Amino acid sequence: MLTWPSKDPDEVLDYELDWADNKRPRLKPDETLTDSKWFVTAGDVVLTREEWTPSGIATVWTAGGTAGTICTILNRVTTSIGRTYDQSVKLRIRTK
């Protein structure tokens, strides 16, 4: 499972997944994103905004969360050739 840099409960920060990243590409050549949804599967961080690009970048904005906890956020994307991919990411909420 991937891990993002931690955040303070008072911060509102954006995080992204690059589904076409050259180091770990998930998209095939000429495959594009057609949808992206984000879900909190563990913890209480709040997802305030979601964006995505056809080229493969899915972005989520996060707020809140209980200090000292680890949240898990799932990104589910669908693609131009009918695939559905899931990726979960851990996000630690820092203590002050």
26-61 burial string, b = 16+ CB within 10 Å, else e? bbeeebebeebebebeebebeeeeeebeeebbbbbe
Two tokens at 60? 């989520």
- Please tell me the total count of domains within the chain: 1
Q: Which domain holds residue 53?
A: 2-93
pTM of the model: 0.94
Span 79-96, pLDDT tens digits: 999 999 999 999 999 997
Average pLDDT over residues 47-68: 98
Residues 6+ apart with CB under 8 A from 77: 19, 33, 35, 36, 37, 52, 58, 84, 85
Q: Looking at residue 85, which CATH number applies to its domain?
A: 2.60.40.10
